[in-house]
Amino acid sequence: MVLGLNTVCDVYFATAIDVLCDAWSLTPDVAGATWMAAGGSAPEFFTSIVGATVAQNDVGFGTIVGSAVFNVLFVIGLCGYVAQGNIELTWWPLFRDCTYYICSLAVLASFTYNQTIAPWEAVVLFSLYVGYVSFMFINRPLNIWAYEKTGTPLNKELRQYVEEMKKEKAKAAAKVEPEQVGLAKTDAPEPDPDHPEPAKDNYFKEDRIVTKEEPQDVEKAEATADAEEGGEEDDDDDDDEPEDLMIMPEGRQDRILWALGLPVYVCLYYSLPRPANPKLFMLTFAGSLVWIGFFAFLLVWWTDTVAGTAMIPTIVSSVTFLAAATSIPDAVSSMAVARKGQADMAVSSSIGSNIFDILVGLPIPWLIKCMIEANNPEFTGVSIQSPYLMFYTCLLLGMVFGTVVSIKICGWKLNKFLGGCMAVLYFVFIITTVVVELSRPTWLMTNPPLS
């Protein structure tokens, strides 16, 4: 089921989202905050729906909380481990996403205090995601403002240059002759194509922030820009095509693994259109949602059954095994961009996916549950069974803070040392979760029983 879930997400669903974004001409900010986040978080989202409506337990909540910790700590740790040397991180994307994420977690913690989620609380959480998407529309001007206010080198000359070039580009698009706008009389020297100004050239080329005035390495600057805005073009090169899954690989071990996964590959290959087809991408998108829901249902059902047989608390199995299994697409994509030197994209994609999980993956299933129980007079809200979920939410807040502190200690660089710090924090969280659920201390319960 894990193989099927990750195959349909990576090969079909994510590619269909890329085509959708291109067809609808979505900007990287909006696409990354909506459809791309949905693609990486689809397994957790459907797991949460199954947990809230079918299994009626905390498996969805636990999976999303566990997946959040897995993404923030373990995935960033893996990115640091596979990174080639020290890769610099810029502060704005991390500050932007972590601030919004921490505020969202604080609201979630306040709502889960009484172990019941009312319909209006679910609406508030989803409204926060709408606010996040709206915020992404003004991300670029806020980015410029933040760099200027903090003294980051973004001088007026560079700013004016960008504005002038934007105006020139707009006028050219409107088919206005240069003489009509006075461009022929400009005193600016003609640019030398053999010796361009690196910072200015890169800034206008990608319409992104350059934070250093001195000449930069062009490849590094472009990688940083792609990391901050999404860098979806680089990811496309690494995406598997459906036809590739039907070809027997070389090597005995690879062939054994391929044969084990062949039933899944065949079912997906013959039931879904090619995701890159510009005429059928919406059909691929809808069909992928059906398959993801099916695989998520089986994964939750089997995990719940195994946990019950082994007498393992549902929250423990969901925070550990199920969370890691559903986060594999995020881990693979983040590691891929980290190898390319795009540290900002690797970190931001992990945190951005968690924002989607908290503000969409939880409230939407809760709202569905509320609509199902709308005619039940005894229904007052979605019940959260584990008395420690408030504690886990606060613990997650601490882990996010620990991530920021670790990055600061490492000098805003993604490297193996940072990866080791993240791995230690992740295992601290896992050990804490297991110890709390097995010992069940009453002093950590949200509403401890009366003695």
What is the per-residue pLDDT for 121?
92
Please report where in the chains the tokens 């896992």 appear, as a residue: 430
Of how many residues is the chain composed? 451
Q: Are the beta carbons of 126 and 119 closer than 8 angstroms?
A: no
**What residues form DSSP beta bridges with 413?**
88
362 phi/psi in degrees, rounded to 5: -95, -55
Distance between terminal CA atoms of the chain? Answer: 44
Any domain includes 259: no
212 phi/psi in degrees, rounded to 5: -135, 140
Q: What is the pLDDT of residues 198-242, one digit of tens each?
A: 444 443 333 333 444 444 444 444 444 444 444 444 444 444 566
Number of domains in the chain: 1
SS3 of 31, please?
Answer: helix
How many angstroms separate the Cα of 119 from the Cα of each of 54, 191, 232, 373? 18, 60, 36, 11
Q: Which domain holds residue 51?
A: 28-151+287-444
Following DSSP, what letter does each residue of 316-336 receive, concatenated? HHIIIIIHHHHTHHHHHHHHH
**CATH number of the domain residue 315 falls in:** 1.20.1420.30
Q: What sign does the CA torsion over 36, 12, 79, 319 have? A: positive
What is the per-residue pLDDT for 201?
40
In this prediction, the residues of the chain whose per-residue pLDDT falls under 70 are 1-2, 26-34, 36-40, 42-43, 47, 50-63, 150-243, 296, 300, 304, 314-315, 326, 328-330, 332-333, 336-337, 345, 385-386, 446-451
Any domain includes 108: yes
Q: Could you tell me the two tokens for 161?
A: 């240059």
Q: Which of 125, 42, 38, 41 is nearest to 382 (CA)?
A: 125
The residues, ordered by sequence, that sit 6+ positions from 52 with a Cβ below 8 Å of its Cβ are 60, 365, 366, 368, 369, 382
Q: What is the pLDDT of residues 143-191, one digit of tens each?
A: 777 777 766 554 343 355 456 656 666 666 665 545 444 444 445 555 5
Any domain includes 304: yes
Strands 87-88, 116-117: parallel, antiparallel or unpaired by DSSP?
Answer: unpaired
The residues, ordered by sequence, that sit 6+ positions from 275 with a Cβ below 8 Å of its Cβ are 11, 12, 13, 15, 16, 19, 242, 281, 284, 288
Distance CA 280, CA 121 (A): 37
Following DSSP, what letter does each residue of 199-259 receive, concatenated? HHHHHHHHT-----SS---HHHHHHHHHHHH--HHHHHTTPPPHHHHTSPPSSHHHHHHHH
Say which amino acid occupies 173. Answer: A
What is the per-residue pLDDT for 123?
94
Interior angle at CA 51, CA 107 and CA 313, nearest 5: 90
Any domain includes 235: no
What is the per-residue pLDDT for 166?
64
How many angstroms separate the Cα of 307 from the Cα of each of 301, 311, 315, 322, 396? 10, 6, 10, 11, 23
Any domain includes 409: yes
Any domain includes 180: no
Phi and psi based region of residue 251 (left: phi greater than 0; alpha: psi -120 to 50; beta: remaining):
left
Distance CA 132, CA 160 (A): 29
Any domain includes 84: yes
What is the per-residue pLDDT for 348?
74
What is the per-residue pLDDT for 238?
45
Q: Are the beta carbons of 303 and 48 closer than 8 angstroms?
A: no
Q: What is the pLDDT of residues 382-401, one digit of tens each?
A: 777 667 777 878 888 888 88
Q: How far is CA 71 from the centre of its chain?
A: 8
Any domain includes 240: no
What is the per-residue pLDDT for 213?
40
